[in-house]
Amino acid sequence: MCGFVGFTNKINDANRVISDCAEKIKHRGPDSDGFYVDGGIAMGFRRLSIIDITDAGDQPIFNEDGSKVLMFNGEIYNYQEIREELIKAGHIFKTHTDSEVLLHGYEEYGTDLLNKLRGMFAFIIWDKNTNELFGARDFFGIKPLYYAKMGETFMVASEIKAFLPHPHFKRELNTTALENYLTFQYSPTYETFFKNVYKLPPAHFFKYKDGKLTTERFWDVHFAPDEDMSLETAVGNISAIFKDSVKAHKIADVEVGSFLSSGVDSSYAAAESNVDKTFTVGFGEDEKYNEIGWAKEFSKFIGKKNYSKVITPEEYWDNIPKIQYHMDEPLADPSCIALYFVCNTAAKHLKVVLSGEGADEIFGGYNIYREPSSVPAYNLIPKPVRRGIGKIAEKLPKKHGVNFLIRRSKDLEERFIGNAFIFNETERKSLLKIKTAAPSAVSITKPFYDCVKSADPVTKMQYIDLHLWMVGDILLKADKMSMANSLELRVPFLDKEVMAVAERIPSKWRVTKENTKYAMRKAAEAATPARTAQKKKLGFPVPIRVWLKEDKYQAIVREAFTSDTAKKFFNTDKLCELLDIHKSGEYDLSRKIWTVYIFLVWYGEYFG
C-alpha cells in the first residue's frame, strides 16, 4: 500500500516541488520514497512495503527499455498467475512485486489488462515515447485517485493534499459540493470540495496527452439474479467464493490481522482468515456503543488474541480536526473517527488488516432494504392518495410513523438516495446564505437508477449504494483512516469474483422478513456462532446524539456555528436553532448538526 503524486512538468524546480508534494502523503508510505522527473512529467512515490519488502520493490518501476514508468497504490491478488503469462510472452521482470505486473501487463494487453486483475488499485503509467499518461482505478473504488487541471498543468495523486505545494494549484472552495454534501453527508458527484479537482470514478481509466483528457469505464456491476436458485446453492456458492477471496487477500510478506465488531461481516472475515490478532474499539460501557465484549468473546471462540481500546469523548473530539485533514474532503459519518482509532490500535502491531466493508452493499445487508416490502398493504392504496397523505404528513411533527407516510408517498427513485439523507433541498437552501448551482439529489441518483430500471427495489437500492454511498462514504473513510496510520486495509467482500456470485443471488435470499443478508448469514453460520451470524445490523455506533446534549460539547459546536466562517456560508440563527431543539429533546437533530459542524472543522483545516 502506498501513495503517489504526479504532474505534467511545466515548472523549473520540479524536483523540489515533487518532493514537497510527496511529503504531504508520507503517512501513506513511510518505508521509502522514489521519484522520476523528465521534461514531460514529475512523479513522486511513498511506499508501505507489503509484498517483496526488499529495496527491489521500490518505485518507480520501469519496463525493459526504460520507456514506461509506473507508480502504483494497492494490491493485485492474482499477480503471480499474470506474471507467469507475461514471462511466457517474453517479458523480463526485475522484481517479485505485484506492481511490475501492471507495467508489463499494460504493454502486452493495453486496457484489456484491467479486467484481468483481481485486487484493489490506483496507478499511473507514463510513456516517454508518446508523452501519454495512463491511469486507472479499481472496480469498486477501494483506492482513491484524484486529478486536477490547473492552467497548462495536469496533476494526479492518491490524495488531494498532495497538490497543495504545487505553485499552479489554486485552492478554491467548490460551493456546489457543499450543498450536495448537506444532503448526502459526503460529496456524491465526481467533483470535490476543491474547484477543478475531480475523483476518477471507480472502474474507470484515463489517458492524458497533449492537454486532452479522456476517461472510460471498463467494468460495472450487473445484477442478473437466478430466480430458480435454491437457498442451499446460494449459501454454498457464497461460502466457496468467500473462502477463496480471503485466501487471496491474505497474500503478503508481513503479518495480516483483522478488525472485529459484534457484526457478522467482520466476524465472518476474521474466522475464515485465521489471523492471529483482531482489533476492536468502543465507547464507554453501554453495549449500544461498545462492542468490545462481543469481540473478545468471539476472538476467544476462534482462538485468537483481541486488542481493544475504549475511546474517551475527549479523545474523540480532540482528534476531529486532524481526522478531517486526513479525509481531504469533509465526511459527516461519525464512525470515521472511531475507524481512525481502530486503525491506530492495529498499526501498533502490524501493517495489514482485513475488514468487512462491502458485504452490506453486495449481499443486501442494510435494514433500509426491507422498507419496500414492509406494510405491503399500504402499497395497495392508489398512488395519488398516498401522495396526498404524504403532503399532509410533511406538515406534522417528524416522528417515526409520520416519516413512514412521507417516504411511502414517493416512488423509490424519489425517496432513496442512499444510506444517509440529512437535509432535503428546501432545508439546505434555507440553511445556506450562499447560492450554488448544486443539482437536486434525484438528478444525481437518476443515471444510476436508469441502469437498473427493470430491477426489483432491493437490487435498485443496492446498485445506488454500490455507486454512491459505498464509494463516497464507506471506502473513502476506510482508505483515509487506515492510510493516516500507515496501515493497509483489505476488503475481501469487495472482490470481483465475490461480486459475480452475489449478482446471481435472487433478492428473496438477500432480504427476507427474518433478516437482511439472509444467504450470506447462512454461509457465515459454518464459521461463526448462530447468534453472531444472525445478529441484526448495528453499524459502527457513536454516541454523538448523547454528547450533543451535554453543555461541554454544545458549547464547542455553538462556537463553531457562530464563527466568522459559519457566517460566510450559513444563516447562523438557524444553525443555533438546530442545537436548541436537539438539546430540548424535542427531536434528535444530531446528524444535521454534525454534518454542518464537520464541514466547518474541515474548512478550518484547509482554508482557515
Which residues have a catalytic role annotated? Answer: 2
Question: Which amino acid appears at position 492 of this protein?
Answer: P
194: helix, coil or strand?
Answer: strand
Q: Is the omega angle on the peptide bond into residue 225 within 30 degrees of 0, that is, cis?
A: no
Residue pair 458/513 in contact (Cβ under 8 Å)? The answer is no
Strand 146-150 versus strand 153-157 pairing type: antiparallel
From the number of C-beta atoms within 10 Å of its C-beta (0-12, 13-18, 19+), residue 211 rates as exposed
86's CB contacts (< 8 A; 6+ apart) are: 93, 101, 104, 105, 108
Residue among 83, 79, 61 nearest 120 (CA): 79
68: helix, coil or strand?
Answer: strand
Q: How far apart are CA 368 and CA 515, in angstroms?
A: 11
**How far does CA 27 lie from the centroid of its chain?**
18
Q: Record the cell numbers describing residue 213, joined without a space.
A: 483528457
Q: What is the DSSP letter of 41?
A: E
CA distances from 359 to 81, 263, 371 (A): 27, 11, 19
Residue among 140, 142, 113 nearest 125 (CA): 113
Question: Which amino acid appears at position 99 of this protein?
Answer: S
Q: Record the cell numbers describing residue 104, joined without a space.
A: 508489463
71's CB contacts (< 8 A; 6+ apart) are: 2, 4, 6, 36, 43, 45, 59, 60, 123, 124
Residue among 78, 49, 31, 2 nearest 479 (CA): 2
For the chain, the 3-state helix, strand and coil shares in percent, each to the nearest 5, are: 45, 15, 35
Question: Which amino acid appears at position 330 of this protein?
Answer: P
